[in-house]
Chains A and B, each alone.
Chain A
């Protein structure tokens, strides 16, 4: 044993019937050696306690107790405020039982102004908070006083935080803390990741990598795929066919978490489970657009053992142990091996027993994906994303925040910022442009010098111009930008254009609310346009105040692909595994008979996609012509590809009508036969040049990306004194600003930031670019006389599965039957 517990702690462990674990001692040893450390441990391994043990032991020593004016000793940062509150509750147990003289407090958005004030004047020994609250504390004049004595920093769920803009903000705050409290040591707590060294670097400044402590994995998970007795659907994400079997599984377990990927799935699965709930099992629902109070109620009911199942989205992916979960059901495909492992970890917090998880694929492609994910999970393989370059909009927010705390020297701040891993490669020139942006907007035209937000003093320091600038910064701290949403109300009726009357929104005003949808998306629709929402095809009647009025549009093909939010694209790693499986019939043994038959048929009728090529099929059907490609690069990259292909075909006068896609394939349809098209030219990588450029000028997704950057960077304020806290109050149209800026200063730093976001975010351009490079010269085109078996799922996206109404269900089922027959 490298380190030992002090006697009171030893007794406390013993009294609980626990023995201290090797990784907990290893963290103590790192602390004793004054080293930063990364602890990678599965859920249930006592990870949080390990993170806090050095602090508890240090604070238990009487000399500190008697030192006057003791300041903050330990800072704990969690991505969720609920997690901070939960950890507080758990920490109070050892503190009370060992009668330790330690004061622990939380600080979140809910903390009263009075308490916040007191915390700054008279801080507790340990403060548990979130990245945004830390940024706010660092942006006050109290920062040096508050953090000057800081000894330990504990970062929880680091794997979830580090790869986002919130992670960039936290990395910058951490760099600030290292300046204010050079003696503080950082401990990161993380689930298993692909490259621990990335996080070890992330945790420290320029110093040597943090120690890494890897706790032994728990018992291997008990993983299985639910092979339903019913026919496996060709497309769709609702897993309706498997719900009865899922219900049986729930009935046999103590407490199940039923994970789904989208809000719409959550609503649907929840509703369906209750329809078949003959045993009246207490089943609850948990997702991000539910009211917070409602979510708290569900969490409390879980914790007190009142529930048997919770249908949830990724809102329960993270951290809190709400109850004695013994089964995880993942509806649909997990999209990534690491995500699956984390979800599995939610079941069974006793390390020595295997976590039990069942994957329920909702369609045929998802069967392939689930098989690939289970193989990866059994081997413990990870596909967490690679580290990202720090976002420039976040840096701009931080630069202003730093000035709000105290005047800064640009050289010092540059050194500090580049000590944060995400900004290690930031050039001085870019940093200076960011500072210039913060000061006067960063324009070639020096128009705003007299309105500067930060100004250079005589001694060369940058100082915030006035108290109002600081106040507005405080009101706008953070990197999470909500989009404006409208309620979707089912009012029935017909559109204005059909009835020849102006739609006034009075028809059936009392109709059912179907949910909420992003305003940016609705603004791309004209009345009468059809779109997908909640698994239904809806037609827009009109927008009335804050509501979109819609009717059901059974049987019509949705014109516009739905940019359903909250869905993760298939990871590159799983995609490669799926391609490998497809191209190797020997590996099909693991697949259910139906899926094997489907692939056999594809082999006979067309050809299977290979490991490294791109299969493109063209065929006529029902008077239209189709092109289906199988890149397996995820929905976002496919959307971008679809937009670009449609543009190209339009220019070539090949009359495309539209496109649809899923995670695996995309389908372009139109009025001209595409069989004779030169596919190498169509898929040539130069589409990412002028075509992309031209599309981006118009792209609503790009404008939305720009809006996020403009808000985070502080060009546009979400909140100001006396203004309401809604996005709608953004008083200038970011679309108009985007257009003007593109035209007049295309190299502006915010456009650069937006482009970087788009490349990896909503447009996934980087992934598309990698794919096009990979398949160049390896396009395998099959001109077929009819639809191929593998093409059916994408084709069905055109008229996706019904959720409400049996007649719709039947008609679509028939349509699917037809397609499947044609594909024979």
Chain B
């Protein structure tokens, strides 16, 4: 199913995976973002910006390059799709003070990303209150056609896209993945230091009524894999 016919962007999707959630067609991008062609919305989850500095406050001096790395990767995804709107599905900052610790460079990157498009911060458990200077609008959840976008997935939800759980598929190594059964979808975490939870963990597996598929992020493309092919466990 090829949904996008705008010639300019055609090549960009060749390596990506098209999937349908609650009847809405979406493009799962190898970077770990989801693009909704009909409205031009780009979804990204669990950026965990400033996770490095969050640990540094407690004495673990992790390399302070995670925010830059995360935003740079997001910039190239945005450049590929030129979305009309970007929706960050919560835990965009690792803690409530994270936005205040953004470096000048990171701020500039973020401003550039937000320029000329709608930007919505959906709040997550790590960042319930994002300060105004971070730009964009705030929401607890939002609708996108038949879909509800929120941070924490709810049991028995229909037509939901959520983040929070950081699914990874263990397939000769741990790889981030979208997980969907066609009814609902879990986004992979996008942040450079965001860890992962095996998609067989009960917290993830229990969300899906039907057997879900993992859309696993490879080096150059997304691979659609039956979850039964992924290792169980940690």
Contact = CB atoms under 8 A, between A and B. Distances in A.
A601 to B, nearest CB: 40
Contacts of A733: 193, 195-196
Contact of A526 (B68, B170, B195): B170
Contacts of A442: 61
A505 interface: yes
Nearest to B195: A733
Nearest to A528: B229
A448 B64 contact: yes
Interface string B40-64: 0000000000011101110111111
Contacts of B23: none
Contacts of A622: none
Contact of A527 (B63, B174, B196, B231): B231
A451 B59 contact: yes
Contacts of A451: 53, 56-57, 59, 61
Contacts of A469: 59
A383 interface: no
A525 B56 contact: no
A503 B65 contact: no
Contacts of A501: 228
Given A448-B53, A525-B172, A732-B60, A543 B231 contact: yes
Contact of A732 (B57, B62, B103): B62
Given A445-B64, A502-B227, A733-B193, A519 B234 contact: yes
Contact of B65 (A542, A545, A741): A741
A472 B195 contact: no
Contacts of A744: 63, 65, 68-69
B232 A504 contact: yes
A740 B192 contact: yes
Contact of A497 (B103, B195, B228): B228
Contacts, number: 127
Given A447-B53, A523-B173, A736-B193, A545 B61 contact: no
Contacts of B170: 523, 526, 543
Nearest to A439: B61
A441 interface: yes
Contacts of B63: 441, 443, 737, 740-741, 744-745, 748
**Is the contact region of chain B dominated by helix, strand, or loop, or is it mixed?**
loop
A717 B59 contact: yes
A717 B60 contact: yes
Nearest to A527: B231
Given A451-B56, A503-B228, A737 B172 contact: no
A69 interface: no
A269 interface: no
A469 to B, nearest CB: 6
B66 interface: yes
Nearest to B196: A733
Contacts of B51: 732
A731 B232 CA distance: 20
A540 B60 CA distance: 35
B142 interface: no
A523 B55 CA distance: 26
A502 B211 contact: yes
A815 B7 CA distance: 59
B33 to A, nearest CB: 18
Contacts of B172: 524-526, 529
Given A472-B59, A743-B69, A441 B234 contact: no
A514 interface: no
A546 B198 CA distance: 13
Contacts of A543: 170, 198, 231-234
Contacts of B195: 731-733, 736
A500 B228 contact: yes
A742 B73 CA distance: 16
Contact of B193 (A500, A502, A503, A732): A732
Interface string B192-234: 1111101010000000000100000000000000011111111
A732 B231 contact: no
Nearest to B55: A732
Contacts of A445: 64-65, 103
Interface of B: 51-53, 55-57, 59-66, 68-69, 103, 170-174, 192-196, 198, 200, 211, 227-234
6 cross-chain pairs, A with B, having the tightest CB-CB distances, nearest first: A543-B233, A441-B61, A447-B64, A542-B232, A744-B65, A502-B228
20 contacts: A441-B63, A441-B64, A442-B61, A443-B64, A443-B65, A445-B64, A503-B232, A524-B172, A524-B173, A526-B170, A542-B231, A543-B198, A544-B232, A715-B62, A717-B59, A732-B195, A733-B196, A735-B174, A737-B193, A745-B63
Given A448-B53, A525-B172, 17 more contacts: A440-B61, A441-B63, A445-B103, A451-B59, A486-B234, A502-B200, A524-B173, A527-B231, A543-B231, A543-B232, A544-B232, A717-B60, A732-B51, A739-B192, A740-B66, A741-B63, A744-B69
